[in-house]
Amino acid sequence: MGTWDIGHFDNDTAADFSAAVDGTPAEERAGVLLASFRTVTGVGEEYLDSDEAVQAVAAAALVAAQCPGGDPVTSAYGPKEPLPALPVELRPVAVEALDRILTEPSELLELWGETRAVGEWKAGVQRLRAVLSGA
């Protein structure tokens, strides 16, 4: 994983995901986000690949940005095109995906666990979760 900072879009996979969202017609973007959540939640207790987790975290950040108290996505690596209003039904699915990402076996959790920034990374993901679950 080419990571250069702690933000939800500050890695190669999330930046590529943002480009894919931009390349999707506006009316299909919610489906792209939902698919990323379903990929993560669909692995059950099997090992969760970091690329799939990173995409779901980025997708969750996009959904959370439209929630009360959510932070706007201002990263240069986030989508360049504005997202349409997203269905509120994405919020609980995003929470479920974030919960799975923070549960072993999760490669992304392992990779961050090997760094000094693990606490800061977890806090960012938990902030997303709090915004999504409180909305």
In a domain, 17, yes or no: yes
Distance of alpha carbon 102 from alpha carbon 119, whole angstroms: 12
Count of structural domains within the chain: 1
Question: Against a cut of 0.75, is the pTM above it?
Answer: yes
pLDDT of residue 1: 47
Reading phi first (left if > 0) and then psi (alpha if -120 to 50, else beta), residue 69 is in left
| 122 CA to centre of own chain | 12
Q: Where are the alpha helices (DSSP H) in 23-117?
A: 29-41, 50-64, 90-101, 107-113
Q: What are the residue ranges in the chain where pLDDT is below 70?
A: 1-3, 135
Residue 50 lies in a domain: yes
pLDDT score for 123: 98
7 in a domain, yes or no?
no
φ, ψ dihedrals at 48, nearest 5°: -95, 120
Report the distance separating Cα 4 and Cα 6, nearest Å. 7
> What is residue 68's DSSP assignment?
T
- Report the half-sphere exposure of 114 (CA within 13 A, side-chain side): 5
- 4 lies in some domain: no
Is 70 inside a domain boundary?
A: yes
Range of the domain at 45: 12-134
Structure tokens at 125: 């993901």
| Structural domain includes residue 57 | yes
Q: Mapping DSSP to helix (H, G, I), strand (E, B) and coil, where does residue 125 land?
A: helix
In a domain, 49, yes or no: yes
Q: Which residues pair with 11 in a beta bridge?
A: 3
Q: Which amino acid is at 123?
A: A
Residue 105 placed within a domain: yes
